[in-house]
Structure 1
Amino acid sequence: MSLPLSASWPGHLLDLAEWDALPEDTSRQIELAEGVLQVAPKPIPIHQRVAKRLTMQFDGAAAGRWEAFSEVEIVIEDAPAATVRAPDVVLVRPDIPVTVPRWTASEVLAAIEVLSPGSRRLDRIVKLHEYADAGIPTYLVVDPGPPVELTEFALADGAYRQVAVHRGTAAVQLGVTLDLDALG
């Protein structure tokens, strides 16, 4: 979607159809939160490196259990005021169609966010609750550090509980061991 700085606001909260109708813009990171566009600059290189290497580590350990993708859209809430997020990395079942523009939260096994200077509060507080409310079983938050630190959350009774904070090597409940030192 392309949203020039001179673009006029539609004057109402956006639904999913209006989100789809927006022109494509790859110059910024854009998400939809309760019908309101949230625009942020593209992540800095260390953020992109960590996300890329995480995707590669998860793919390498998948053993047919999931497929890892970066920066794909997830519908958190399809309502008149929709919420669409683009986690840095998502894990989905390998049988999920890849020809759709986005997935629903029910198709996501895990959402992973890499912290940036402008996203720390959003990732640690807002998305933590949104992803839990949407029923995503696992949420991982990666602080690129140094040192790289991974906070692991698991869904229990509709809310996330913190499972562990990892440094160095992370044996996460998904049944994979991640080399955090190799991410940075």
Structure 2
Amino acid sequence: MAAMDMDAPSAWGVLDGVTLPRGYRVEITEGKIIMTPRAEAQWKVVLEAAPQIRQQLAAHGDILSDVMIDFPSSQYGYAPDLAITAPGAERNSRGRFEWHSLEAVLEVVSKSSRDNDFAKKFRLYAECGIPVYVVVDPEAGVCAVHRRPTRTGTYEEETEVPFGADLVLPLAGREITVRTDGFPKAGDLG
């Protein structure tokens, strides 16, 4: 991936004025607009995790789901399944949060998003310095917690947390604990 242009316009600009269909997740990867329906397992993980995180955040940050985030590239526009903003984070002139406002991102991988979540988002989130990136994998029943991002697009530390164990998100000056015993495995859904 080439170096990021910090003055690049938002990738989301191509969608200004466009009415998007409901029920689809929209993201931009390598300049391509990708629309996919949310898988049942993804939705259920978000429903389980979001209230737990929100309750523990109180006034120290906020949680977002499927909200457009501005990244320092006109080729990438992601709306993470769950994103935790830093305390005091402010929106930019477009009304959106930027990458440097994020303390943690949780993506729930599906069959159609594996390449993005495990490779492209992994690289971009690390390059942008997002401190904690979690890939929740309902197929494998595991959460991969990535910490200590590098500007070269990798994370120096990875911990795997199986569904059923507590997922601990180490944020600046605090920890958030998410119970994963309610996370559905993809094979368990009808």
TM-score (norm 2): 0.77
**Which residue is 1:53 aligned to?**
48
Q: Does 1:118 align with 2:112?
A: yes
For the residue of structure 2 that corresponds to 1:61, the secondary structure is helix
Q: Does 1:144 align with 2:144?
A: no
**Which residue is 1:182 aligned to?**
182
Please give the residue correspondences for 1:1-184 in structure 2 after superposition, counting only pairs within 5 Å: 15-40=11-36, 42-79=37-74, 82-97=75-90, 101-145=95-139, 148-158=141-151, 159-167=154-162, 168-174=165-171, 175-184=175-184
**Which residue is 2:6 aligned to?**
none
Q: Does the CA-based 8 Å contact 2:70-2:77 persist in structure 1?
A: yes
Determine the C-alpha separation between the residues in 1 that align with 2:66 and 2:177. Answer: 22
For the residue of structure 1 that corresponds to 2:111, the secondary structure is coil
TM-aligned CA deviation for residue 183 of structure 1:
2.5
Q: Does the CA-based 8 Å contact 2:129-2:149 persist in structure 1?
A: no
Classify 1:94/1:38 alpha carbon distance in 2 versus 1 (closer, same or farther; 3 Å).
Answer: same
| Deviations, residues 120-153 of structure 1 (Å, cap 9, x unaligned) | 121011100011112211101101246x311101
TM-aligned CA deviation for residue 15 of structure 1:
5.0
TM-aligned CA deviation for residue 76 of structure 1:
1.8
TM-aligned CA deviation for residue 54 of structure 1:
1.2
Greater relative CO (CA pairs within 8 A, separation 6+): 2
Q: Does the CA-based 8 Å contact 1:77-1:84 persist in structure 2?
A: no
Determine the C-alpha separation between the residues in 2 that align with 1:145 and 1:66. Answer: 30
Q: Does the CA-based 8 Å contact 1:76-1:131 persist in structure 2?
A: no
Percent identity between the two aligned chains? 22
For the residue of structure 2 that corresponds to 1:123, the secondary structure is helix
**RMSD of equivalent CA atoms:** 2.3
**Which residue is 1:10 aligned to?**
none
TM-aligned CA deviation for residue 78 of structure 1:
4.2
Q: Which amino acid aligns with 2:178?
A: L
For the residue of structure 1 that corresponds to 2:161, the secondary structure is strand
TM-aligned CA deviation for residue 98 of structure 1:
6.6
Determine the C-alpha separation between the residues in 2 that align with 1:16 and 1:46. Answer: 27
Determine the C-alpha separation between the residues in 2 that align with 1:157 and 1:131. Answer: 9
Classify 1:145/1:179 alpha carbon distance in 2 versus 1 (closer, same or farther; 3 Å).
Answer: farther
Tell me the matched-pair count: 167
Determine the C-alpha separation between the residues in 2 that align with 1:121 and 1:51. Answer: 20
